[in-house]
Amino acid sequence: MLDKDGYVSETNATNIFLVKKGQVATPSADYCLPGITRATVMELVVKENLVLVERHISLSEFHTADEVFTTGTMGELSPVIKIDGRIVGDGRVGTVTQRLQKAYGELTAESGVPIPTYQQT
């Protein structure tokens, strides 16, 4: 989804990030919901000693990114390998995305409250 100035703000249900030359960027929160998962991943980017930039990002920057991923409650941190029919990077899940998925998985395994499961009696 684009903001009023034509920059990418978010997807229809998740926040979005790109990786270019090892730098992680996400659209500024001017026109997107600053989600909890987004904030958590932003903290993990810094903890992983990666460069994090929050700024206006054009659609063409996403088309030419090395990696793209989304964040949200249901999908947590999900890789994007195609945008508008165009392959992102080399078409595979990138190393930065994998690294952040691992860090996020470790964090959520250690914290939070388990969700109760329904058991039929």
Residue matched to tokens 């249901």: 74
Q: What is the pLDDT of residue 112?
A: 73
Q: Does the pLDDT at position 110 exceed 90?
A: no
Dist. CA 105–CA 89, nearest whole Å: 24
Q: List, in sequence order, every beta strand (DSSP E) within 1-121.
A: 15-20, 23-27, 51-55, 67-72, 76-80, 82-83, 86-87
Just give the CATH number of 15-105: 3.20.10.10
Mean pLDDT of 61-82: 96
Mean pLDDT of 32-38: 91
Record the tokens describing residue 63, joined without a space: 């088309």
Mean pLDDT of 95-110: 95
Percent of the chain residues topping a pLDDT of 90: 76
Percent of the chain residues topping a pLDDT of 70: 99
Q: Does the pLDDT at position 61 exceed 80?
A: yes
Mean pLDDT of 19-35: 93
Contacts of 80 (CB under 8 A, 6+ apart): 16, 68, 69, 70, 88
Q: Is the pTM of this model over 0.85?
A: yes
CA 46 to chain centre: 14
Q: What is the pLDDT of residue 52?
A: 98
Mean pLDDT over the full length of the chain: 94
CB atoms within 10 A of CB 56: 16
